[in-house]
Amino acid sequence: MGDSTRRPPSPDFLTARQGVWHYARRVPAAFAEVDPRGVIRQSTKIRVVDDPRKVRARRAAQKINEEVETFWRASLGGQKADAQARYDQARIMARRMGFEYLGAAEVARLPIEEILRRVEALAEPSKADDRVAEVATLGGVAPPKLMVSDLFGEFERLSAAELRDLSPDQKRKWSNPKKRAVANFISQVGDMELTRVTRNNALDFRDWWQGRVLDEEMDPDTANKGLRAPRDHVPHH
């Protein structure tokens, strides 16, 4: 493999300030909602003069970075869990009241008779001052955002009935290619809301696979499987 296939070194997020190495990293857009700091700055407590080649500083920065990313993932996971719980609660309540759950914008587009029927349902004594019922009836909870990184988990959840009787080995063979496909896409294009994935993103991903086929003399079938993996069917017994 030639030099052209080598990946650039990972960033160490180090900068020198007042003679000391500091970790400095801008908060990625994907985590901006859970971390409003903009830029994370933390001293490694290692002086530049004592570590001019950043050997010890890199190790310290790597540890800080791991802690920061763990915090981001945990915070976002908690936020997603809360959003999903609120959305599921609203959908269940809407069904109990005899309605399909709709977002506020969709409710506003309903015929006036249907809107009045929903409002009248809230006038029942049992629903007075019931915030959950109000949200469920009038669409006060937006669907949680689905990120590319959520795709495998969501697909696995929807396929639960088909996967129920598979052995652990069959489940592994079913899941691993899909996990790799999602991870490869994120590594090249980035994690984003599924609704924001564009045709250009897909073409960039395809071009990356084509580059690997040429640079690494990879079997084109391997690239095709990497692109098709999310659409594979559950294996038959």
Q: What does the buried/exposed string (b/e) look like for 198-231 if buried means 16 or more CB atoms within 10 Å of the residue's CB?
A: eeebeeebeebbeebbeeeeeeeeebeebbebee
Separation CA 30–CA 124 (nearest Å): 42
Separation CA 179–CA 175 (nearest Å): 6
Separation CA 153–CA 164 (nearest Å): 15
> What is the pLDDT at residue 237?
46
Close Cβ partners of 43 (under 8 Å, ≥ 6 residues apart): 17, 20, 21, 22, 23
> What is the pLDDT at residue 220?
58
Residues 58, 12 contacting (CB under 8 angstroms): yes
The overall pTM is greater than 0.75: no
> What is the pLDDT at residue 55?
94
Q: What does the buried/exposed string (b/e) look like for 146-158 if buried means 16 or more CB atoms within 10 Å of the residue's CB?
A: ebbbbbbeeeeee
> What is the pLDDT at residue 228?
55
Residues of the chain where predicted confidence (pLDDT) is lower than 70: 1-10, 126-129, 215-237
Separation CA 204–CA 206 (nearest Å): 5
Separation CA 72–CA 37 (nearest Å): 12
Q: Measured between alpha carbons, how far apart are the two ends of the chain, in Å? A: 40
> What is the pLDDT at residue 234?
45
Name the region of 45 (left: φ>0; alpha: ψ -120 to 50; beta: rest).
left
